Amino acid sequence: MIPRNDPALWKKKRRTARWWRETREGYLFALPWLAGFFLFTLGPMLVSIAMSFSRWDGITPVSQMQWVGTENYQRLFTDDPRFLKALSNTAWYVMWAVPFGTLNALAMALLLNQEVRGQAVFRTLFYLPSVVSGVSTSMMWLWLFNPSFGPINYALAKLGVPPAYLPGWLTDEHWAMSAFIFMSLWGVGNSMLIYLAGLQGVPVHLYEAADLDGATPWVRLRHVTLPMLTPTLLFNLIMGVIGSFQTFTQAFVMTNGGPNDATLFYVLYLYQKAFQQFQMGYASAMAWVLFFIVMALTLALMGSSKRWVYYEGER
């Protein structure tokens, strides 16, 4: 039984002047983001749901907007081979770029975590490309991938690849996507640094214990380092998947989706639909499909984490 005049009970109920002041100030300080959230995130999300059920070119007055029900969504999956192509292209890209990027970043972080001289130099070298993304680096790769004169094919020829077998890279629809995946490996420096930070967080006493048990370097890696790194791995995988689905600039600059739609990425097609063909409703439907795909993959990764992510302190 609770005594009627329990002061603790009173405190909870009574909203003191101080409580009001703190609440007011808290919301006031957070107001910029709260406003931004409603104006630039929640609002547009709701508007785009409505737009995705309509047909509108974005130019004529809003009153011209036609309600078409689920037509846009039906067309996406039954009547638009280019959409399906863009979807499967992007899925294919994510499927290869994320795991390969993870392995690459992890390997570089493990190498850098050894006691090596020049560590700072190598770290800088690996990190730099991930910082300088954008149009200029896309231009650079355009030149590197040049099938007849570019340095990459020159190197392959030097390694003994016969001229007839040199890939056409961005000009060949069977190789273009591989070129993008290859290029993405160059930009994993950021996740490498995250792994490196994760590696530094592994407590030394675990390694000491492993050494006392006579663990080989491989066992140490497999049973100490990697389990301790799984939370970092989960974070990088999620960010990698989300980021890879947003691939746009490279494709827009280097191939504009070609050849024969081989590098038509999801966001590139979304851009074309909205800002070149002015099908705002259709593009909004695409945006929502993208949202659900990314959401589902993120949740799936998080859900799977119970099985393979190890949190110290649990158990």
Partner 1 sequence: MTLPTPHNSPPARVHPGSRVRPVKVLTYLALGTLGALFLMPFLWALSASFKTNAEIYDFPPRLLPNPFHPENYRIAVSVLPFAQFAVNSLVITVACVIGQLLSGSLVAYSFARLRWPGREFWFVVLLGTMMLPPQVTMVSTFVGWTQLRAVTGVEWVDTFKPLILPSFLGGSAMLIFLMRQFFKTLPPELEDAARIDGCGTWLTFWKVMLPLSRPVLATVAVLSFIAHWHDFLGPLIYLSSVDKYTLQIGLRMFQDINGTRMNLLMAASMIVLAPVLVLFFSAQRYLVRGIVLSGIKG
Burial of 231 (0-12, 13-18, 19+ CB in 10 A): middle
Please, which residue, 143 or 308, has the CB nearer to partner 1? Answer: 143
CA separation (Å) from 106 to 50, 181, 189, 200? 43, 17, 10, 13
Which whole-number Å values give the CA distances from 94 to 14, 88, 129, 266, 294, in the listed order?
54, 10, 19, 11, 11
Count of residues near partner 1 by CB under 8 A: 109
Stretch in the footprint of partner 1 (CB under 8 A) among 68-76, 78-86, 90-98, 136-144: 136-144
Which of the residues 105 through 124 are near partner 1 (CB under 8 A)?
A: 107-108, 111-116, 118-124
Name which position in 9, 39, 219, 296 contacts partner 1 (CB under 8 A).
Answer: 39
Residue of 29, 67, 77, 308 interacting with partner 1 (CB under 8 A): 29
Q: Which is nearer to partner 1, 4 or 292 (CB)?
A: 292
Residue numbers 177-206 binding partner 1 by CB under 8 A: 186, 190, 193-194, 196-204
Q: How far apart are CA 209 and CA 205, in angstroms?
A: 6
Least distance from partner 1 to the Cβ atom of residue 51, Å:
6
Per CB under 8 A, contacts with partner 1 among 225-244 are 225, 231-232, 235, 238, 242
CA-based max dimension of the chain: 91
- Contact predicate 312/201, CB 8 Å: no
For residue 176, the minimal CB distance to partner 1 (Å) is 17
Measured at the alpha carbon of residue 141, what is the angle toward residues 238 and 247, in degrees to the nearest 5?
30
